Amino acid sequence: MIVHRIIPSRVKDPLTRFKPLKTLTTSSSPEFEPSSSSSSSSSSSSSSASFSVSDSFLVEKICFSLKQGNNNVRNHLIRLNPLAVVEVLYRCRNDLTLGQRFVDQLGFHFPNFKHTSLSLSAMIHILVRSGRLSDAQSCLLRMIRRSGVSRLEIVNSLDSTFSNCGSNDSVFDLLIRTYVQARKLREAHEAFTLLRSKGFTVSIDACNALIGSLVRIGWVELAWGVYQEISRSGVGINVYTLNIMVNALCKDGKMEKVGTFLSQVQEKGVYPDIVTYNTLISAYSSKGLMEEAFELMNAMPGKGFSPGVYTYNTVINGLCKHGKYERAKEVFAEMLRSGLSPDSTTYRSLLMEACKKGDVVETEKVFSDMRSRDVVPDLVCFSSMMSLFTRSGNLDKALMYFNSVKEAGLIPDNVIYTILIQGWRKLFREDDLGRQNQMKEAEVVLRKMIERGVNPDRSTYTCMINGFVSQDNLTEAFRIHDEMLQRGFSPDDKF
């Protein structure tokens, strides 16, 4: 199925990446209200069972002091335990100002207070309801990073304190986002599954954060599992969800399933945007399926979209990578006619292919055109140029481009230096009578490289070793070999 044929002409305004979590307004009920006797969790009932009369009296004192604004709250906090923290916050659920005051004073006077998952959960609920998401997230991170605390304990603690804190599902959105931002994706997936098993709803924005990260690191199967659960839960997906899952199909090499997927989401009222087109064009181009890529690209105007720099770049790159340089130049010319300005990525594709072909004239023409348009070459562009000239034995030209790296405000990396070392070595190999000192010059480059904080890699050392070996200078070859081992690199199998 040709994908663009099932994409209707519908353009939606771009949405923000994530919607902000909503903050509940303070209730107008009495300032303090006893916690509900009917708890939804066994952890809550066990907490009540171990809550002593003295603890109850302490809670009453703290609540009274908070209400009166007394300065002697600290004296009561000294005797505080985690169960009392939970009870105080339950009592403050209808006056978030007092709840925040309690959380702030506890954190200020006793920053190392030994919280339990329950006391942290109660604080998180109050902070989320108060709109203090950053502080709530700090508490979540503290709970997540506690040794020996499982996802089940965290979810159960948030669940058991949920009702008595008058909370809402935004807490669980923040939990998923926090796991994702902490790069704990397996834990995020497990927490999501637990939340859904308890009947809690996770917003589509938090779900998008999770599935987007799963796809990004290649855990596509888990991402599809989350997507299917989203569909079962009745949570409405959006265009970001669509684009994430299209990207998942492309990464998984299942391009033939994209059309069916798009048909399904369109039935839900969600339509592709320009990101969808660019994702598909990029996937087709990377696989060399240029006919399909051009068909989609040509269909874009009819759907209300205009190919941009990214679109042209992916097509040009695909053509170059698959040996269609002349066609790539035609697309480049079309790009210019459309009024778009090429960037370093555009020229990088053209330069790399021209260099691969060994066409010095064409390469310098492309590089000159890039500079004439005030496009600053990146390190890949410079390394391509240097590699071309070192391969042809024109070290002077390679050095000229090496010096241009600094003039462009860039810092040479180990690839640039290694290419330069290869240039010196090649001179020696081609003229062993007049170039006996070239390997010394190559080592000067190596030492300058290290001196400037650029670490040589195995390729750099292998190049040096092979150069000395070809010169029959085994003493120097073994010296460089030992230095390579000291830096933790294993020698090339061919050495």
Contact 178, 137 (CB under 8 A): yes
Q: What is the pLDDT of residue 111?
A: 87
Distant-in-sequence, close-in-space partners of 339: CB < 8 Å, separation ≥ 6: none
> How far apart (Å, rounded) are the C-alpha atoms in residues 398 and 422?
11
Element (H, E) at 191: helix 185-197
CA distance 460 to 415: 8
How many other CB atoms are there within 10 angstroms of residue 400's CB atom? 13
Report yes or no: 385 and 357 within 8 Å, Cβ to Cβ: no
* Contact call for residues 76 and 61 (beta carbons, < 8 A): yes
- Amino acid letter, 276: T
- The DSSP symbol for 184 reads -
**Is the separation of the CB atoms in 286 and 279 below 8 Å?**
no
Q: Would you give the DSSP letter of residue 70?
A: -
- Three-class HEC string of 5-35: HHCCCCCCCCCCCCCCCCCCCCCCCCCCCCC
How would CATH label the architecture of 44-196?
A: Alpha Horseshoe (1.25)
Check residue 33 and give its pLDDT.
45
Look at phi and psi of residue 257 and say left if phi exceeds 0, alpha if psi is from -120 to 50, else beta: alpha
Whether residue 356 contacts residue 370, with contact meaning beta carbons closer than 8 Å, is answered with no
Contacts of 462 (CB under 8 A, 6+ apart): 484, 491, 492, 495
Task: Give yes or no for a contact between 476 and 461, defined as CB atoms under 8 angstroms apart.
Answer: no
Cα of 118 vs its chain's centroid, Å: 31
- According to DSSP, residue 5 is labeled G
Angle, CA of 367, 373 and 374, to the nearest 5°:
90
AA identity, residue 481: H
Q: What's the angle, vertex CA 264, arms to CA 263 and CA 268, rounded to 5?
A: 110
pTM to 2 decimals? 0.76
Contacts of 135 (CB under 8 A, 6+ apart): 103, 127
Q: Which residue has the tokens 């979590």?
A: 21
Show Cβ contacts of residue 116 under 8 Å, excluding neighbours closer than 6 positions.
82, 157
| Domain boundaries along the sequence of the chain | 44-196
Please, what are the averages of pLDDT over each run of 10 residues along the chain (495 residues)?
Answer: 48 35 35 41 44 77 80 72 91 92 88 92 96 95 89 95 94 96 95 94 95 96 95 92 96 91 93 96 94 95 94 96 95 96 95 92 94 92 92 88 90 91 69 62 88 89 85 85 86 56
Q: How many helices (H) and strands (E) does the chain have?
A: 26, 0
Is residue 272 within 8 Å of residue 7, measured between CB atoms? yes
What is the per-residue pLDDT for 63?
Answer: 83
Q: Which residues contact 282 (CB under 8 A, 6 or more apart)?
A: 250, 314
Residue whose entry in the numeric block shows the structure tokens 């917003």? 203
Please give, one letter per residue, the 3-state secondary structure of 85-150: HHHHHHHCCCCHHHHHHHHHHHHHHCCCCCCCHHHHHHHHHHHHHCCCHHHHHHHHHHHHCCCCCC
Q: Which residues contact 87 (CB under 8 A, 6 or more apart)?
A: 35, 51, 55, 56, 59
> How many C-beta atoms surround the C-beta of residue 54 within 10 A?
10
